[in-house]
Structure 1
């Protein structure tokens, strides 16, 4: 798994977990605003970006891989911030390896499984070849709030994502439920959702917050499913204020 490290290695550690269908480059606007205030660790998750050579298999396997990265590069723990699929991974990591997570920032995580996941995945399988068409990828980029300066990264990675990764990662995403261990997480936790996201996402944010006593919930005004890309200034400031 490819891992980018940036910032000051002597500063507090911060792990950024990207969403499905993108890669670590989605955090570039946030990194520019953080500067050297943190020791930032940004993996490209399996099947994504520069880790595209190995297919995504499961959330469980991916969390184990992220834990190994933390054991090696931030053995005393790190703030872990995840977006969308990455936010589900952050919840699982906090639930299963709380010793490695000093603070959890959960951004736009779906936590209520779809009623008919097979139908969703069947449609996805049928349309998967479209991801390699630039016109379709551009439409998807707009829906994901990909800024112009990151569009080339998105088009490149969208074209090389395998069908296996697409189906496995989306399948894990739409079936995700809050793990029991999340309620026992003792360190600080922030749950974020855009106030223009789908009802499913807003309900999920409330469920994640409600499942963890002491967590904080923020609804970000005028944001859809793309807070770190729509408001990188705000997101970077929120992270910096948590050191």
Structure 2
């Protein structure tokens, strides 16, 4: 991947599926997982759309490239979209990827046709320093299979993807963990989000923490033209917890070819 003038180079693995002349859909995974989390959704879209699935820096097949910041990751995603076609893409992001979706749509709206924001935290958390120090001390636990399985259940990772999760978790470095979680915890809505003109859907599970539900309301309020959907019976992991429903919801939200 080449860099724009003044930008550093970030090597990020990107898989492409579907017809090369199809409308583009960019899928951005959450922290601690990788592009494999979109396997079900990708499979439901690839007959009609050109589906782009990156492994974000520090994750999956991009594990050797440490996560540095949301800002640098969004710049790398801009390069992916700018070099891969001339038309804007639909962007769907979960959790960390949902924050990146907001940043991408805010900073580079000419590249984003529409945005689906799933379970994004949008209210900065207090005591970030203390939490990150505790997280750094606990980082080696991610390499423990039993601990990883417990974490996977929190995200509703299905049995067929469990080994992918365990492998991804074991290869996330402490530097990536602290950088990604730190930016996640400090995230606040960019002012330009309120100026995004494409269709936007903000989604959150009704069983998620109050912080997440409040964040969904903040994101929607900042962009009143957006749609907000609270999904009954779901926690933090809608796409993995209810894949058939989610796939159908995405299919209905995307423009037909």
**TM-score, with length taken from structure 1:** 0.98
Match for 1:218 among 213, 220, 229? 229
> 1:35 deviation in Å?
4.0
Identify the residue that residue 73 of structure 2 maps to in structure 1.
62
Over residues 144-198 of structure 1, what are the superposed CA-to-partner deviations in whole Å (9 max), with x where a residue is unaligned?
A: 1110000000111111110000000000000000000100001110000001000
Match for 1:14 among 15, 25, 32? 25
Identify the residue that residue 215 of structure 2 maps to in structure 1.
204
Rounded Cα–Cα distance in structure 2 between residues aligned with 1:153 and 1:135: 14
**TM-score, with length taken from structure 2:** 0.93
Rounded Cα–Cα distance in structure 1 between residues aligned with 2:47 and 2:83: 21
Secondary structure of the equivalent of 1:55?
coil
Identify the residue that residue 244 of structure 2 maps to in structure 1.
233
C-alpha contact (below 8 Å) 2:195/2:223 kept by paired residues: yes
- Give runs of ≥4 in structure 1 deviating > 6 Å: none
Rounded Cα–Cα distance in structure 1 between residues aligned with 2:105 and 2:46: 26
* Unaligned segments of structure 1, at least 5 residues: none
Identify the residue that residue 112 of structure 1 maps to in structure 2.
123
Rounded Cα–Cα distance in structure 1 between residues aligned with 2:47 and 2:84: 17
Rounded Cα–Cα distance in structure 2 between residues aligned with 1:230 and 1:144: 8
Question: Is residue 32 of structure 1 aligned with residue 23 of structure 2?
Answer: no
Question: Is residue 76 of structure 1 aligned with residue 87 of structure 2?
Answer: yes
* Unaligned segments of structure 2, at least 5 residues: 1-11
C-alpha contact (below 8 Å) 2:45/2:51 kept by paired residues: no
Rounded Cα–Cα distance in structure 2 between residues aligned with 1:222 and 1:113: 26
